Structure 1
């Protein structure tokens, strides 16, 4: 039982490393030719855009079809299945946490850290703060990004961050600062897309 628990845990940790490496070297790599990179840059350019679930499902099935037989070959069927299960479970948790960071306000210290860290990545420097679920790999690989307050362009502000008038809620004023105009027209959409494709933070 202890070995199975260890395999599950290692699978979950392996996902967090995979998450970091994919985010840094595929989604924010030099090339934007791959569908993953294009979809992710679009996510940066459009505040409420996420890649379609069917694309993620195809990628997940492909990964499991490689990971399960490979891990079973290396450590046995039972432990290989446990490792793969831990990997997949952490991936699903990542998807939930990532989406909720964009759609729901934080409810605890971890949620507050995760959002501030992630939106510093979005709005301060997309080349840094690549981890979404944990700061571990940003610390290991020297890509931490520490900002006192995240400057959020008004046109890209998360809905949970602002009130009905579009002003920042008092509960989040210590971590975020709204900048620029709320107007989102063809020119601003073009600028945001160009910045995302070039791995630059969006203009104010």
Structure 2
């Protein structure tokens, strides 16, 4: 396997590869109860329904930025060492190598659990003790939406325009220009940070 221009021997880390296999339905089954638990904590601390809704929406919005940041700067990081290439392959390279592998389209729950700690602490920096759980729950809900959407974009057959365009946008990242189009659930941050891929007709004119 060649990752980022360097050779990776995939015979040794087979046990690590196994840990990257996850069925898509495990994501909502495991994490939606956690989302509900977090939101209920803020409810019990006295927040009204409109306040909860706003906090959850903001948490989902915050996740879209984290989603973009992780995909652009971590999942597509340039690596040069054997173990760097191996870790990169296990995190995201295997998905680009086998984009239709249904067991490598969502993030393993153990890895998500590890990432929840810095995300919780990030929310605590700018939130109060009573708003932190709902904001975190909103972010975690955004993550669930992201992973389920990602699976659907690869294996679903959308019939309406919005999911059709989103699927076309994501598969464009896989099969045409991999250093652009890092958004999964939305292209908003690609537009903000200038990583929106050019249209096919524009690229053909160059």
SS of corresponding position for 2:165: helix
Deviates more, 1:95-104 or 1:73-82: 73-82
Matched, 1:64 2:112: no
Instruction: Identify the residue that residue 102 of structure 1 maps to in structure 2.
Output: 154
Show CA shifts across 1:93-123 (max 9, x none): 1111101111111132111111110011001
Cα–Cα, structure 1 residues 65 and 139, in superposed 2: closer, same or farther, change >3 Å? Answer: same
Task: Pick one of 40, 52, 58 that aligns with 1:4.
Answer: 52
Q: Unmatched 5+ residue regions in structure 1?
A: 150-204
Instruction: Identify the residue that residue 19 of structure 1 maps to in structure 2.
Output: 67
Q: Return the TM-score normalized by structure 1.
A: 0.65
Q: Unmatched 5+ residue regions in structure 2?
A: 1-47, 202-206
CA RMSD of aligned residues (A): 2.3
Distance (whole Å) between structure 2 residues aligned to residue 61 and residue 122 of structure 1: 27
Show CA shifts across 1:57-95 (max 9, x none): 122212222333553464222210011001001101111
Cα–Cα, structure 1 residues 24 and 69, in superposed 2: closer, same or farther, change >3 Å? Answer: closer
Contact preservation (8 Å) 1:27, 1:38: no
Task: Determine which structure has greater relative contact order: mean sequence separation of CA pairs < 8 Å that are 6+ residues apart, divided by chain length.
Answer: 2
Show CA shifts across 1:118-140 (max 9, x none): 01100111100000000100000
Instruction: Identify the residue that residue 28 of structure 1 maps to in structure 2.
Output: 76
SS of corresponding position for 2:131: helix
TM-aligned CA deviation for residue 34 of structure 1: 6.7
